[in-house]
């Protein structure tokens, strides 16, 4: 046999290798809910970062809240499983979906040797609210991070998965342009700041507007929105004085700890 040829395993040898009892894709579905404030003066609405959970109907952990997901099929990759489950849960395709990590602690699932691959998705508010108001609404809930992590008894190791996903989205909110997933195509810098602070509550930058528009490392991320004549487009939807509208570009900066 040449070095480039691969010797096939006899069927009786292949059967010696044990495979997991199941490989599910669990998905942390994040959204930002918006609630208009009742105030005399114009102000930005209140945002809350929430996660969608499903109440389990059967063993194991019957009655407990859990992340949505499902088992992978032999004819699909784990990413395809996650994409399929995401569409089945929301009814919409094309959401922001990223791989989070593998969870394989022995005994994590009473049903057997089950290794989970977790993903997180950013989904529009109206999509998850529509899902919550479906026929099986009593089985679906939208919860704040505090409610989900401190008040609910989550199934399996889903608390650990949710904590990891929360840390990941907070890091990305400060290091990437992931905020665009929670904003309209055109927005003010005040709206951008509020989205960042909603996901990262301890974020506080007093000179945010000046830095975001002038610092060299951020140049090219945002651009001013202009009308057909080239004049700046303004909005006073949430402020007494008109504010410049911005939008994200397709530019992705190369970030380094050494620059």
124 among known catalytic residues: no
3-state helix, strand, coil in the chain (%, to 5): 30, 25, 45
Cα dist from 92 to 81, 85, 130, 209, whole Å:
15, 11, 11, 35
List 139, 147, 160, 163, catalytic entry: 139
Eight-state DSSP code of residue 50? E
User: Phi/psi class of residue 131: alpha, beta or left (left: φ > 0; alpha: ψ in -120 to 50)?
Assistant: alpha
Alpha-carbon gap, residue 248 to 179, rounded angstroms: 9
Nearest to 63 by CA among 139, 167, 147: 139
- Cβ neighbours, 10 Å, residue 121: 24
Catalytic residue annotation:
139
């Amino acid at each position: 046999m040449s070095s480039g040829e691969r010797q096939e395993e006899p069927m009786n040898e292949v059967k010696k290798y044990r495979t997991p009892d199941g490989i599910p894709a669990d998905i942390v579905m994040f959204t930002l809910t918006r609630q208009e404030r009742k105030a005399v003066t114009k102000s930005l609405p209140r945002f809350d970062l929430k996660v969608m959970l499903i109440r389990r109907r059967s063993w194991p952990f019957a009655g407990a809240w859990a992340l949505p997901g499902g088992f992978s099929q032999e004819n699909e990759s784990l990413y395809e499983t996650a994409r399929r489950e995401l569409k089945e849960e929301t009814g919409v395709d094309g959401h922001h979906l990223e791989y989070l990590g593998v969870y394989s602690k022995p005994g994590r699932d009473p049903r057997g040797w089950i290794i989970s691959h977790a993903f997180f998705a950013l989904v529009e508010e109206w999509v998850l609210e529509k899902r919550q108001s479906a026929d099986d609404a009593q089985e679906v809930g939208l919860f704040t991070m505090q409610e989900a992590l401190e008040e609910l008894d989550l199934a399996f190791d889903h608390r650990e998965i949710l904590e990891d996903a929360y840390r990941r989205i907070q890091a990305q909110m400060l290091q990437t342009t992931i905020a665009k997933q929670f904003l309209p195509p055109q927005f003010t810098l005040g709206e951008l700041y509020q989205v960042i602070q909603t996901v990262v509550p301890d974020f506080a930058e007093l000179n945010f507007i000046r830095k975001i528009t002038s610092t060299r490392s951020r140049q090219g991320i945002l651009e001013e929105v202009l009308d057909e004549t080239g004049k700046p487009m303004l909005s006073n939807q949430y402020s007494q004085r008109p504010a410049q509208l911005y939008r994200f570009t397709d530019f992705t900066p190369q970030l380094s700890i050494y620059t």
